[in-house]
Amino acid sequence: MENIFFTKPYTASDLIAWITDLQYTISGISTFIILLFFNPFGSHAQHFDFNFNTSGKRVCLATAEFDPATTRINILLHDSLANSGKSTDVYRRPMGSIEWTKIASGIPAGIGHWSDSQVNMNECMEYQLRRQNTWTFESKPYDAIGYTIGCTHFDNTLYKGRLILLVSEDIPALLPQKYLLLKKELAADGWFVDELVVPRAEGWDSGDTVVEIRESIQNIYNNAPINDKPAVLFILGHVPLPRCGSTDVTAPDAHEVNQGARGCDTYYADIDGIFTDTARYDPEFLITTLADNYPGDYKWDQDFFPSDIEMAFGRVDFADLNEPSIPEIELIANYLDRLSRYKNVAEGYDMGEKSAFYFGYDNSNDGSYRSLLNISGLQNVYQNQAGLDHNQWVRENGPFKIYMQNRSIPDLNAWKESGMDATVFSSDQSYWGFGDVPQGNNYSRIRSILAMDTKCLITLWTTTGINIFHQACTGLSLGLAMKQIMNHNEQNRYLEKAPQQYDTPDWWNRTHFAFYGDPTLNLYQIAPPQNVTLAEQNFVAVLSWAPSKTAGVIGYHIYSGESEYGHFERITSELVTAGPYFIQDYKPGNWYMVKAVRPFTSGCGSFLHASLGACVEATFPLDISVTKSSKKVNIFPNPTNGLFRIKASKPIFCIEVLNNSGQMVHRIDGENLDFVLIDLTHIHSGNYLVKVLLEDGTVETLKFIKTEF
């Protein structure tokens, strides 16, 4: 019950939280019913400060709920009563699209609820909320803007797509088993892995090796199917690091010593962008000569993306760290172990539903407001008001999906003493976000904290404008959720936000973004099923498994692939509530996978999410020699315990099973197959007739005996 109480004295903003979930629509007019007598501590208790006169002038505080009874998305405007009389406009687009369509205008202040009835089941619609002319920056007016997504039982259990695993050659050589497990678990998560192994970088200036690597990435991308291009780039190990930057623009952290040619994995992620190498930039004040840029040195001129990046990306690279003082290969091994424990929800790695933040710099605070409410829901977002002992506070109040420190450089001693009980950690401070040099002072601390033995698997630097990632609330990987804000600029305006200090076009769309960790990671955990087996039973392949240990699992989906490394396609159209599962189109040599499925309700409606898959190889053939019979239709085995196959010489239109009284007890469509699996284990023993209608109109009638053996 702790999470329904406030951590501070009640305020007007608390009242907002009590009532926003008690709103409904009558005749298209949004209205409140305040039922404090019945529910004085409503389901959306607020655990943090939000002041319209400061943050609220830039941000609309919103989440979404799905009402299955009316097939509506209810947009909850959590700051409506405090918005100084400004009305709200609503825009919508299908998730993943670019163009917005206005669907509501002038929702009055004090109306904390608006419903969208123009939605369908199994989709996600993205919403932008705007209040006009609430914010002034450099004498120009801007709108307060917020985002949410409405998922209508969206099915997030299908194939996810391709990714490129770009790995330095020492990792597979020195960690073969852990590396193979990583590839298997990426496939089990729904990805098809395009592997690219490259020589380990010899230092931090890789010269022309980055050109060859990018050409290999481009070849993989261009040769992939047109409808299945790689969506993610996962960089593992000390892979040669591209560098970009050559002009006297604002440095990524506003300190001129950090200008110049800085780390630029976006060079790999931008498939068709044109990068030039003609500029000279070598002022004496640069902090490192690695940032000096000269014509023809394979350090690229661009400070901003030359075009949209095609792939999300993330890097796990622990080279040249002195904290922790452990060999690099051991740090990689430890990270892969922690990553596997998270994906399998090992003991101690269930990270729960909560997220939290510390009130720091405004641009990062706005990121917390826009994103965390959607990912965890308003009732599960907490603010650290205790002070600067971040790690201790997280340990005592977590675990968390995300902890956004939002100010100051992470303290290494605090990480050693208290760990970091959050899957994702971000902060907003100069210097520490640069991971493109050997560790020293505060440089490369963003890599060193990721290397520590904590629960943290992703570290972000929000200084560079990565502060809108609400799309992760749908189960989308965090890397993909951040790709659109990385591509956002003044011209395309993919994800608008009111500019402010340290969050203007000087920081948007930069070639230097710091995302460290596995970019495929999503924030909703389900333990996979266990002990998956495949056996033959009466000429039928039977898949069995032990259930997931996660509460709330509603069933399982089955997948098939030609390799343990993917890709796996789902072969079940409906959830299987429990095993065993009888494989109809069994193929020896294939791999079969089982995933547990659970519905989640976030601040973005509801969606179905799948666990990591557990798979088994199909090693045995099925004896179907009976199909060589001269009869048009055959049943085998016969007698049967109720599980049998029908084989026909032509495609089957439908099958009807009749009892001795001529009553139909079962019917199945043939789906134009000539080989159909029937499961009648639930019917009584006895003699039955099977009528098989072939595609050419021929009807064949056969007898079979149902037994109890």
Q: pLDDT per residue over 207-244, tens digit each?
A: 999 999 999 999 999 999 999 999 999 999 999 999 99
**pLDDT, position 235:** 98
| 595 lies in the same domain as 638 | no
Query: Residues 527, 529, 530, 531: what is their CA dihedral angle, to the nearest 10 degrees?
Result: -170
- 380: amino acid identity, one letter: N
Task: Answer whether 97's CB lies under 8 Å from 28's CB.
Answer: no
**Listed residues 517, 541, 572: the one ending a domain:** 517
DSSP string, 408-473: SPPPHHHHHHH---EEEEEE--TTTT--SS--BTTBTHHHHHHHSSSS--EEEEGGGS----GGGG
Answer yes or no: is 523 within a domain.
Answer: no
pLDDT of 10 strictly over 60: no
For residue 606, the domain's CATH number is 2.60.40.10
Same-domain status, 586 and 641: no
Same domain, 639 and 549: no
269 within some domain: yes
Please give the full DSSP string across 97-131, using - where no structure is assigned. ----EEEEEEEPTT--EEEE----SS-EEEEEEEE
The answer to whether residues 643 and 665 belong to one domain is yes
User: What DSSP assignment string belongs to 21-55?
Assistant: GGEEEETTEEEE---TTT-SS-TT--BS---TTTG
pLDDT at 597: 98
Residue ending a domain, choose from 106, 126, 156: 156
Q: Is 642 a member of any domain?
A: yes
The whole-number pLDDT of residue 544 equals 95
Q: Which of 52-56, 177-181, 379-383, 563-567 shows the lowest per-residue confidence on average (mean pLDDT)?
A: 52-56
What is the dihedral sign for C-alpha 346, 347, 352, 356?
negative
- Identify whether residues 421 and 351 lie together within a single domain: yes
CA atoms lying within 13 Å on the CB side of residue 71: 7
For residue 522, tell me if it sits in a domain: no
Q: Does residue 195 sit in the same domain as residue 239?
A: yes
Q: Are 127 and 250 in the same domain?
A: no
Residue 32 pLDDT grade (very low, low, confident, very high; cuts 50, 70, 90): very low
Contact between residue 425 and residue 460 where contact means Cβ atoms under 8 Å apart: yes
pLDDT at residue 387, rounded to an integer: 79
Q: Tell me the pLDDT tens digit for each residue of 270-315.
A: 999 999 999 999 999 999 999 999 999 999 999 999 999 999 999 9
Q: 69 lies in a domain?
A: yes
Question: What mean pLDDT comes out for the span 354-373?
Answer: 94
356 pLDDT higher than 90:
yes
Is 196 within 8 Å of 202 (Cβ atoms)? no
Is 314 part of any domain?
yes
The answer to whether position 525 is within a domain reads: no
Instruction: Give me the pLDDT at residue 29, please.
Output: 31
Q: Is the pLDDT of residue 339 over 80?
A: yes
pLDDT of 223: 97
- Our measurement of the distance from residue 411's CA atom to the centroid of its chain's CA atoms, rounded to an integer in Å, reads 28
Q: What does the block give as tokens for 276?
A: 């030039």
> What is the reported pTM?
0.86
φ, ψ for residue 177, nearest 5 deg = -70, -45
Query: Which residues are within 8 A (CB) of 642 and not within 5 positions of it... i.e. 6 or more apart?
Result: 679, 680, 681, 682, 683, 706
Q: Among residues of the chain, what percentage have pLDDT more than 70?
A: 92
Domain boundary among 156, 183, 207: 156
Q: Residue 18 — pLDDT band, cuts 50, 70, 90?
A: very low
pLDDT band at 642 (very low <50, low <70, confident <90, very high): confident
Report the DSSP pairing between strands 312-316 and 232-236. parallel
Residue 136 included in any domain: yes
Q: What is the pLDDT of residue 624?
A: 52
pLDDT band at 623 (very low <50, low <70, confident <90, very high): low
Report d(CA 33, CA 389) in Å as an integer. Answer: 41
Count the alpha carbons within 13 Å of 497 in the hemisphere toward its beta carbon: 33
Q: Are residues 535 and 502 in the same domain?
A: no
- Which CATH number do you get for residue 638? 2.60.40.1930
| Residues 347 and 282 grouped into a single domain | yes
Q: How many domains does the chain have?
A: 4
658 and 605 in a common domain:
no
Using CA atoms, how far residue 42 sits from 123, 589, 600, in Å, is 28, 55, 20
**643 lies in which domain range?**
626-706
Residues 416-437: b if buried by 16+ CB within 10 A, e if exposed: eebbbbbbbbbbbbbbbbbbbb
How far is Cα 12 from Cα 35, in angstroms, rounded to an integer?
A: 16
Least confident of 230-244, 324-338, 384-398: 384-398
The answer to whether residues 189 and 313 belong to one domain is yes
Is residue 275 domain-shared with residue 341, that is, in the same domain?
yes
Question: Does the pLDDT value for residue 26 go beyond 60?
Answer: no
Q: CA-to-CA distance for 502 and 255, rounded, in angstroms?
A: 11
- Percent share of the chain, pLDDT over 90: 73
